[in-house]
Homo-oligomer: A and B are copies of this chain.
Amino acid sequence: MSLVIVGTMAFDAIETPFGKTDKIIGGSGVYAAYTAAHHTMDIQQVSIVGYDFPKEEMEQLSSRGVNVDGVEIVADKKSFFWSGKYHMDMNTRDTLVTDLNVLADFNPVLPETYRNAEFVMLGNLAPKTQQSVIEQMHERPRLIIMDTMNFWMNTAMNDLKVVLGMVDALLINDSEARELSGEFSIVKAAKKIMTMGPKYVIIKKGEHGALLFHDDGVFYAPALPLEDVFDPTGAGDTFAGGFIGHIARTKDVSFENMKTAIIVGSAMASFCVEKFGPQRLKEITRDDISKRIAEFVDLVSFDIALV
């Protein structure tokens, strides 16, 4: 009765208008796991790393309740490395380096104990890899959510369509939703994507928040207006980790609870961008999270009696 998270564990080198890092810990699986671990126990991590990935990072994850038996360690290769540079608006970035390294051979084999998980979060990976994880499950999980990106639409659209037919929810950003659907209107895009498989479509709009679509229903979660966005790397994976972490904790996959999960994800993402890398996700407490969620409640509350 657990949550399987599949994603990269990697190194990033990041440049923003506010600063620059050397190689620091990153990867979708890292962000999602640190985040989900604030909300639920019994997280089962699926990833691949090289000989250079720090043992201390694995230990930190373990100490937070993240099982890392599903993380393959390749003795003679380096971990995945990404380097990018953000522009002033923090919504656009240039990729400077992508060294796949171990990721080129990622062919996850789930430990037997993982194969009854109730909830599965598939980070942005090759659709074939995502499919393979789903096929290793003994029973259909209660909720499978996946992320993807335009790269797979351009190089593996048929594979992507197969996985879309196997999941419950798709997490995607607005420009990718447009590309996947061929529709400019976000509403039309979401409706078209729902015909491709996912019953729930979550469209991330960065500083403009996120939209959740299901049938004819729609929910709009704002992003918290921040004075400074220090580093947006991992914000989408943190959002995903908060979303699925909340779902796994409450074990409630209703549309109503997904709305709350989106607020939790948004709150977690608002921490992520405050420092480089996953640092803030390691520092924050339950109290910090509660306060931040209360800010979201304030942000959107108005008195309907006055209308």
Contact = CB atoms under 8 A, between A and B. Distances in A.
A307 to B, nearest CB: 5
Interface in A71-114: 88-89
Contact of A302 (B229, B259, B304): B259
A211 B223 CA distance: 11
Interface residues of A, number: 45
A188 B218 contact: no
Contacts of A89: 184
B302 A263 contact: yes
Contact of A297 (B185, B208, B218, B304): B304
Interface in A197-215: 205, 207-209, 211
A143 to B, nearest CB: 15
Given A186-B207, A260-B302, A260-B304, 8 more contacts: A185-B227, A187-B227, A208-B208, A218-B299, A222-B222, A256-B303, A259-B303, A260-B303
18 contacts: A88-B184, A186-B225, A187-B225, A208-B208, A211-B225, A217-B298, A219-B299, A219-B300, A220-B222, A221-B300, A221-B302, A222-B300, A252-B306, A256-B306, A259-B303, A263-B302, A263-B307, A300-B300
